[in-house]
Amino acid sequence: MGFIHRSMDMLTKGKIRHNIGIDIKDIKSRIKEVSERRERYKVDSVVPKPTSTSTDTLRQLALFKKVTELIGTEGRSLDIVRMVMEGDEMIKKQLKLVSIVGFGGLGKTTIANVVYEKLRGDFDCRAFVSVSLNLDMKKLFTSLLHQLGKGKYNNIMDESAWSETQLISEIREFLRNKRYFIVIDDIWDKSAWRSIRCALTENGCGSRVIITTRILDVGKEVSDVYQLKPLSASDSRILFYQRIFGTGDKCPPVQLAEISESILRKCGGVPLAIITMASVLASKKEHQNTYTYWSKVYQYMGSGLENNPDLMDMRRILYISYYDLSPKIKACLLYLSLYPENYDIKTKELIWKWIGEGFVREEQGKS
């Protein structure tokens, strides 16, 4: 009997190995086919069609918002102004670096621009430049020099012969005896900041630099950090009603007020989310059954409204944060979709599940 069992076991294992071998051969064949197709159709050389509204365009729109739309910015902008400008006489003469840190949609660009407009007149020269995820360092330095130098560098945007090193040297020379104010918007990594930092000379003239970033470690690398918080419940409400009704003082009917509060709770004080949802509702405010429509929007927040252009713009901004995550963190985030909406997730239980799935592994020297 033992011989028969061993023979059957060997035959079973042999069959399994044979099937695995066939599967591996099939996978290799598919990979080869995909590779040949990629080469045949020149996929790598295809230029992607630009989206209707790029994230850079959306960032530019944030710079030109009406003053009446800047709800909740005054107090926060004054906090940053104090952070940037206050200090004793010795500190005031030094180069001061401040970072505004917060996740996508909190309004970092808008706040930075408000501060920029408040302080720009106090300096000899000034510039506001955007970095973005796809960084072109040479283009950034060219734009910086053009804004700082105004008339002196009118043709710099057309000048392609200058290297990155030459541009840094020119900026340093230009800033040597000047009190300058620079805002660098949306820095994504430390190496980008270190390259930019090379161009910022310390000349004892009391210059100021503000950067905005979604990443706390980048903000700490700069110097002093101002962590941007979500809007308060009252400011969220004012912004929401102002976008829908044209005034933040209008009090809607009780039923709409109740559903408004539910929508705002889901928005979590994030200005981008509030403005987006308000824009969706404002476009249908003359709807025959407003309450039913608002309830439907609340019910399908995050799904079922894919074709709305305002939501598409918001997703473009937030997608950037998602795609910047490491594969492990993406897996952890996507795992949350297994839970029902509004489910109370227990942190320890979730972490153990991540460990069980292999998303979180023990690393030497880390707890």
pLDDT at 31: 76
What is the domain range of residue 17? Answer: 2-45
Pair (130, 101) in one structural domain: yes
Pair (123, 216) in one structural domain: yes
126-149 pLDDT per residue, tens? 999 988 767 788 888 888 888 988
With a pLDDT cut of 90, the percent of the chain lying above it is 16
Alpha helices, H only, the chain? 2-40, 55-63, 73-85, 89-93, 108-119, 137-149, 164-175, 190-197, 216-222, 233-245, 254-267, 271-282, 290-299, 309-323, 327-335, 347-357
pLDDT at 56 over 60: no
185-242 pLDDT per residue, tens? 988 888 889 999 999 998 888 999 999 998 889 999 988 899 988 888 888 888 888 8
Max alpha carbon distance in the chain (Å)? 97
Pair (106, 149) in one structural domain: yes
Alpha-carbon gap, residue 162 to 105, rounded angstroms = 36
Pair (271, 187) in one structural domain: no
Pair (312, 279) in one structural domain: yes
Number of independent structural domains in the chain = 4
- Cα–Cα–Cα angle for 129, 127, 168, nearest 5°? 80
Pair (40, 128) in one structural domain: no
- Of 177, 203, 227, the one marking the end of a domain is 227
CATH value at residue 221? 3.40.50.300
Tell me, yes or no, whether 6 lies in a domain. Answer: yes
300-333 pLDDT per residue, tens? 775 544 455 555 555 665 665 676 677 888 888 8
DSSP string, 312-330: HHHHHHHHHHHHTS-HHHH
Tell me, yes or no, whether 50 lies in a domain. Answer: no
Pair (62, 118) in one structural domain: yes
Pair (293, 341) in one structural domain: no
Alpha-carbon gap, residue 203 to 184, rounded angstroms = 19
Pair (136, 65) in one structural domain: yes
Pair (11, 95) in one structural domain: no
With a pLDDT cut of 70, the percent of the chain lying above it is 71
Tell me, yes or no, whether 140 lies in a domain. Answer: yes
Query: Which pair of tokens denotes residue 25?
Result: 């051969």
Pair (220, 331) in one structural domain: no
64-99 pLDDT per residue, tens? 455 445 687 888 899 999 998 887 778 788 999 999
pLDDT at 284 over 70: no
Q: Are 167 and 145 in contact (CB under 8 A)?
A: yes
CA 313 vs CA 1, 320, 339: distances in Å? 71, 12, 26
Q: Are 305 and 297 in contact (CB under 8 A)?
A: yes
pLDDT level of residue 119 (50, 70, 90 thresholds): very high
Pair (114, 167) in one structural domain: yes
Tell me, yes or no, whether 210 lies in a domain. Answer: yes
- Per-residue burial over 296-327, b = 16 or more CB atoms within 10 Å of its CB, e = otherwise: ebbeebeeebeebebbebbebbbebeeeeeee
- Of 278, 300, 317, the one marking the end of a domain is 317
